Amino acid sequence: MDTHLQSSLDQATENIGRDRPTTKREQRAASIEALLTKALTLFITQGYHATTVEEIAQSADLTKGAVYFYFKSKANVLKALLDRTEELTVEPTIAAMEAAGKDPVDRLNAFVRSQSVIGAEKTEYMLLAILMSAEFNGSGDEIETRLTDLMARMENALRETVKVGQESGAFRNGIGPDELASVIMATNKGCYVEWYMRGGDLKGHDFARAFRDFVFDGVAART
């Protein structure tokens, strides 16, 4: 039996009949997880500034002190969430584009599909990046830089692909790659926000397909 599985069993055994974590490590992980999950929801529904540390703590059945014990500051809570965001949204998207090979059409395809998947599974993280970018824009805050960098990674990959596609004649010419890539990103971000704000009223499948077609038809070479 492999040792990883064994240790999992040990832990499981220790925990029989309990739903509260017992070891300190588990406690820590559980508390951090609860705090981050609740903070994520609160930040995107209310905004960062409108969310109080007290609210975050209470949502996770803890006190303010616990938030500061784990994160030292409210800003650090957001930073921790942005780390996750980068890991769960930016990196998979860029990886998917890389994996798609060199053809710009394939890469754009990979971008759009990746965004659709994230939109279905990790919506909140992507939304966080978008909404916080707006909220912190022009603040001069350290977080602003963090957000700009995060979004720039995606935008750079996209712009590069657009450029290559224009050069190869696969994508429309006559419009700068910066502007074309920006409209794609704008559409992408706009759709996330629209989906979040009116999600209940919209059919996800239709909405995603419309988004996909907008991007593809929008960049297609003019004939």
- Under the criterion CB under 8 A, does residue 75 sit at the interface with a copy of itself? no
Site string for DNA, 73-92 (x = CB under 7 A): xxx-----------------
Residue 173 near a copy of itself by CB under 8 A: no
Contact in structure between 150 and 216 (CB atoms under 8 Å): no
CB of 49 to a copy of itself, least distance (A): 5
Radius of gyration (Cα) for the chain, nearest Å? 21
Residue selected from 23, 137, 168, 173 as contacting a copy of itself according to rule CB under 8 A: 137
Angle value at C-alpha 88, between 156 and 130, nearest 5 degrees:
60
Among 91, 99, 194, 221, contact with a copy of itself (rule: CB under 8 A) = 194
> Which residues, 6 or more positions from 120, have their beta carbon under 8 angstroms from its beta carbon?
204, 208
Largest CA distance in the chain: 68
When binding is defined by CB under 8 A, the residue of 117, 138, 150, 164 that contacts a copy of itself is 138
CB of 27 to DNA, least distance (A): 4
Q: CB of residue 178 vs a copy of itself: minimum separation in angstroms?
A: 6
Identify the sign of the CA torsion 166, 171, 175, 181: negative
Smallest distance, Å, CB 3 to a copy of itself? 29
- Rounded-to-integer distance, Cα 146 and Cα 138, Å: 13
> Contact at 8 Å (CB) between 83 and 186?
no
Distance CA 112, CA 59 (A): 34
The three-state secondary structure class of 220 is strand
Q: Of 12-20, 69-77, 90-98, 213-221, which segment contacts a copy of itself by CB under 8 A?
A: 213-221
Site string for DNA, 44-63 (x = CB under 7 A): -----x-xxxx--x---xxx
Closest CA to 157 of 185, 187, 124, 176: 185
- By CB under 8 A, which span of 15-23, 31-39, 58-66, 214-222 interacts with a copy of itself? 214-222
Residues of this chain that interact with DNA (CB under 7 A) are 22-24, 27-28, 30-31, 49, 51-54, 57, 61-66, 68-70, 72-75
